[in-house]
Amino acid sequence: MNSDFDVIVAGGGSAGIGAAVGAARRGARTLLIERGPSLGGAATLRNVVAYCGLYTLESRQVVFGVAEEMLAGLRDLDAITGPQQFKAVAAVFDPEAVKRVADELCERAGVTVLLHSQLFNAHRDGNCIASVQVSDHAGVHELTARAYVDATGEADLAHRAGAEVRYGNDGWVLNGTLGVRFGGIPADVELTREQIAEAVRQAKRAGVEGLTGDTGLTARMPISHDLITYLADEAYDARDAADTSRAERSARRQAQAYLRVIRTMPGCDGAYIASTGPELGTRESRHVVGRVQLTEKHVLNPGPTDDAVALGAWPIESHPGPGLPLEWKYIGEPGHYGIPLDVLRSRNTDNLFAAGRAVDGDRGAGASMRVMGTAFATGQAAGVAAAAVASGKEPTTPLVREELNKQNARLP
């Protein structure tokens, strides 16, 4: 395999897919590095099976581009629902189908994909990243590019490259949740979020141990009709393997406790755990310090979007700690907000862009921008901007917006 590229994207989740496809379609020789066995990120490796952030509260879709191509591919496989109303609007999908559609998106765009490859180091040359090192079963490989996108979630590339990063906001991070998928529940058994929440609360009052959340999202999945739940909450430092290992063991114990609760509900006595995670759904870790920080005020009181390279539509959904109620704050009219390019561009590393939950938002903005629908949008914008840098051009907002709209982003 060639070791030199125009753009290297680290992390193969929604943000990384968007970035790699966006860069490749602008003509950049693009490499997408993923440590796991498939693309999709949280959608395929963490049982996060709802695309949030694509729709306003009125179910109006505002994120298109690569995200719309993913939706179209899933629709072709009957593997995604239409927009559903929870506390906000999301579409629920089958994760196995996401793996295949993601492969096809990258293949069609001409992206080189490296799975099973762990990025563990990066080298700087002045204010730029010069190369990265990845390891696989064959050994260590050094790869070079002219521009880079960090879509790792934990901002591992930025951290290793000496870019400015911070952990969480104001000494605080959103807690994570283990996605737990229950099978063995007949499709005609009605299970509402409110019914499940009340059953969990009753179990807590009865002294059942090992239960934290009761207000998280629950939904029926397409194809299997399995019940997906996001109730097993954990607080942990996602940078720390020992602490994350502890939290995952604890969350799996919680999953068994929730199974016992589910089995008490009418029609659910045959329920079983089809899968957990396998990884915890981390909502926040490091942020790449951008040239501009998006703020909660910007999310709640949106202004004009003529300087935006991505749109966000998910409310501020804050998970303050295990067992504590979720906190929601909703976006003002028109129900979505713009994300400027400088939010994605590293403040001290000229050829580095961030995408996904690692972008620079304060406590409130970060709790909105982190979701996968928005990650597709920030990823595609970061990829296009990185491709511009790789070609020797300054990635101005008009240039990036023009290319994104050529790629069907439909920015207003």
Dig out the tokens for 206 from the structure. 């009865």
The pLDDT, as a whole number, for residue 294 is 98
Q: What is the largest CA-CA distance in the chain?
A: 65
- Distance CA(268)–CA(62), nearest Å, equals 37
- pLDDT tens for 190-240 read 999 999 999 999 999 999 999 999 988 999 999 999 999 999 999 999 999
Confidence tier at 322 by pLDDT (50, 70, 90):
confident
Percent of the chain with pLDDT over 70: 100
The pLDDT, as a whole number, for residue 325 is 85
- Distance CA(102)–CA(148), nearest Å, equals 20
With a cut of 90, say whether residue 323 has pLDDT above it: no
Looking at residues 392-407, what average pLDDT do you find?
98
- pLDDT tens for 291-302 read 999 999 999 999
How many CB atoms lie under 10 A from the CB of residue 233? 27
Confidence tier at 260 by pLDDT (50, 70, 90):
very high
Residue count of the chain? 412
Q: Tokens 């016992």 identify what position?
A: 260
- pLDDT tens for 325-368 read 889 999 999 999 999 999 999 999 999 999 999 999 999 999 99
Q: Go through the domains of the chain in sequence order and give each one's CATH number.
A: 7-58+95-170+285-406 (3.50.50.60), 176-276 (3.30.70)
- pLDDT tens for 75-93 read 999 999 999 999 999 999 9
- pLDDT tens for 16-70 read 999 999 999 999 999 999 999 999 999 999 999 999 999 999 999 999 999 999 9
Q: Phi and psi at residue 343, in whole multiples of 5°?
A: -70, -30
How many CB atoms lie under 10 A from the CB of residue 61? 17
State the average pLDDT for the chain. Answer: 97
Dig out the tokens for 14 from the structure. 């929604």
The pLDDT, as a whole number, for residue 135 is 98
The pLDDT, as a whole number, for residue 126 is 97
